Chain A
């Protein structure tokens, strides 16, 4: 299906219902789709399950969604940070459920979902409390834990630019979870600094092919300014 170009972040996140599982790109603030998350907050959607590396920092993006108690469950690797006060309060109050997943397992579970893998054996976490109750197997003398794919109803990610086919490029370490989440969600929404005509992005350099992307919307952030300064965007 052709990619939809949404005229605003509000329209881009329209239709995300209560109880949805939302994959949110970003490692800390790098690559976090703040403006899409703000629009999701405004939409009123609640009882969400959020999959993200962190559980929000400061008073922006995912942290605000947590503050407003719209998030019932967080699946992440590193919730506790110096500025994760909104998560900390919700967690201590028993108002949010946490599933803690080692960072590489989180990425691979998302990748597996996008790639149609039923489950996979990984050495990460073997013999630790995070593998308790999980199936294990010794393969060629090494111990592994069975981990299952992690799918989303929707993914909210941030790219540097898209073309009209929905092909995406990213910027530096802001790429992080974007490509695996784009493939792991039923519906992928990307905010980008620029939407270019088809043919303006070098096909050799596409990171996320448009087949994984459903909605794109243009949002200007510091990433776009920096890319213009570098000459990477016009």
Chain B
């Protein structure tokens, strides 16, 4: 059996699945790690929704520029061939289907590809959404990176969301420490297909999830 995937290995797996020449938006948190594993040969262009294509790595101490930040407000750098644009253009790029891949973190993903990642719905919490709802519906492919199980052991791929939704039917793949799940839609129907299992057998994963999982590990 394969070992469970650590965060770095998971990021490498996502990076390897991004087609050469893609325009990609990496969400805040775990998804930012994906950029460490993108190769020059892949020629991927990174988008940051605060208004830039061709974003480079985080800025070194002597490169920090308050006018050049990413969506997480971290100082970044500019790649050759970068471009800047205003917010309405930046989100039109997403909404208009021009981005190829968006990689996001999540609290839960439903079997139908519904995404919950913006709010736990906890009473008294100050709500903040940022670009989460725009990103959820803003790319041809929406990849989620998360642990398969919450700290209390409950699965995070669920029949129906219990957390507030960020977007409906938008997730196409879920990258977890225990395997990569493809959410395949055919009309109204959707299927969760496990591409490869890590740390647990396919049968164990099928048993622990409350959604029906198709074993796609042989294909």
A binding-site residues for B, Cβ under 8 Å: 27-31, 53, 77-81, 87-88, 91-92, 98, 100-108, 110-111, 122-130, 143, 170-180, 207, 222-223, 226
Whether B129 and A102, one on each chain, are in contact in the complex, defined by CB atoms closer than 8 angstroms, is yes
| Given known A126-B168, A172-B65, A173-B67, contact A27–B129 (CB-CB < 8 A) | no
Q: For residue B60, give the distance in angstroms from its CB to the closest CB of chain A.
A: 16
User: CA of A133 to CA of B88 in the docked complex: distance in angstroms?
Assistant: 24
**Residue B12 at the A interface, CB < 8 A?**
no
A104 to B90 Cα, complex, angstroms:
8
User: For chain B, what secondary structure do more than half of its interface residues adopt (helix, strand, loop), or is it mixed?
Assistant: loop
A128 to B127, CA, bound (A): 13
> B86 to A78, Cβ gap below 8 A?
no
**Complexed CA–CA distance, A53 and B134 (Å):** 14
**Interfacial chain B residues near A226, Cβ < 8 Å:** 65, 67
Contacting pair B84 A173 (CB below 8 A): yes
B141 at the interface (CB under 8 A from A): no
Q: Which of A31, A102, A107 contacts B133 (CB 8 A)?
A: A102
B68 touches A172 (CB 8 A): yes
Q: Which residues on the A side are within 8 Å of B137 (C-beta)?
A: 123-124, 126
**Chain A residues with Cβ under 8 A from B168's Cβ?**
126-127, 143
Contact A108 B167 (CB under 8 A): no
Q: Is the pair A31, B129 in contact by a Cβ cutoff of 8 Å?
A: no
Interface size bucket, B side? 35 or more
Chain A residues with CB below 8 A from B88, complex form:
107-108, 110-111, 179-180
Please, which residues of chain A bring their CB within 8 A of the CB of B127? 79-80, 98, 100
Check B164 for interface membership: any CB of A closer than 8 A: yes
- Which residues of A sit under 8 angstroms from B48, Cβ to Cβ? 173
- Which residue of B has the minimal Cβ distance to A82? B73
- Once A28-B73, A123-B95 are accepted as A-B contacts, the answer to whether A179 and B50 lie under 8 Å apart by CB is no
With known contacts A102-B132, A172-B65, A177-B86, A108–B126 Cβ distance under 8 A: no
Cβ of B81 within 8 Å of any chain A Cβ, yes or no, is: no
Q: Which B residues lie at the A interface, using CB under 8 A?
A: 48-52, 65-70, 73, 78, 84-88, 90-92, 94-95, 114, 125-134, 137-138, 164-168
Contacts of B95 in A (CB 8 A): 104, 122-124
Q: Which of B67, B73, B92, B167 contacts A172 (CB 8 A)?
A: B67
Select A77's contact among B86, B131, B166, beta carbons within 8 Å.
Answer: B131
Per a CB cutoff under 8 Å, which of B86, B164, B165 touches A176? B86
Contact A171 B134 (CB under 8 A): no
Distance in Å: Cβ of B99 to nearest Cβ of chain A: 12
A129 to B121, CA, bound (A): 10
Given contacts A100-B128, A222-B66, 13 further A-B contacts (CB under 8 A): A78-B130, A101-B129, A102-B134, A104-B133, A105-B134, A106-B87, A107-B90, A130-B129, A172-B78, A173-B67, A173-B84, A175-B84, A179-B86
Chain B proximity of A85: nearest CB distance (Å):
11
How far apart are the CA atoms of A87 and B87 in the complex, in Å?
Answer: 23
* Residue among B50, B73, B87, B128 making CB contact with A79, cutoff 8 Å: B128
